[in-house]
Amino acid sequence: MDAEEAYQKSIELTEDAIVVYKSWLKGNKYYGDIQAQEMPRYADADYSISYDFNFDHYVEVKTRFHRWGKYAMEKVPFRKFAFAHTMKNLYGRNTIYLLRTQDKIGILDLTCEPDKVDEMIARHDRGNDEDLYAFYDVSRFRIIHTT
């Protein structure tokens, strides 16, 4: 799969993951009408979630092309962790990190403390700059769906 095919596949899998998440919310947390509004590109979250048209929280979706547990830690750009804290502290709104792998979908509240924070070069295709990342042990994620 080339880069363009991988990008298109990740869009499809992200949309599917949001459908699964909304279904999980409806069955486990909320019983009204649930809306997922896509955020603008380059925003620090991918979707805003509303219940009966009242905004509730943000969701950041990450699609990985491997099986759950291949890596012990999930890396998240630190700015997403900072965004989650800002939204929680200023507005009382959570940001959920939704991780989709080939076989599972899991969620984690991004305001929880990371297991590790470190600088690394993660995207050589976008330059060789070091960026700051928050790392979370995948065992901390709540599995909401298994394929």
- Mean pLDDT of the region 9-21: 95
Given 1.10.3720.10, 3.40.1350.10, 1.10.230.10, 3.30.1330.10, which CATH number is that of 3-146? 3.40.1350.10
The DSSP element (H or E) to which 22 belongs, if any, is: helix 3-28
Q: How many CB atoms lie within 10 A of CB 84?
A: 26
Nearest to 117 by CA among 80, 86, 142: 80
* Secondary structure of residue 115 in the 3-state scheme: coil
**Number of other CB atoms surrounding residue 88 within 10 Å:** 17
Q: For residues 32 and 110, which has the higher predicted lDDT (pLDDT)?
A: 110
Asked if residues 75 and 135 have their Cβ atoms less than 8 Å apart, the reply is: yes
Q: Could you tell me the pTM of the whole model?
A: 0.90
Q: Which pLDDT tens digit goes with each residue over 54-96?
A: 999 999 999 999 999 999 999 999 999 999 999 999 999 999 9
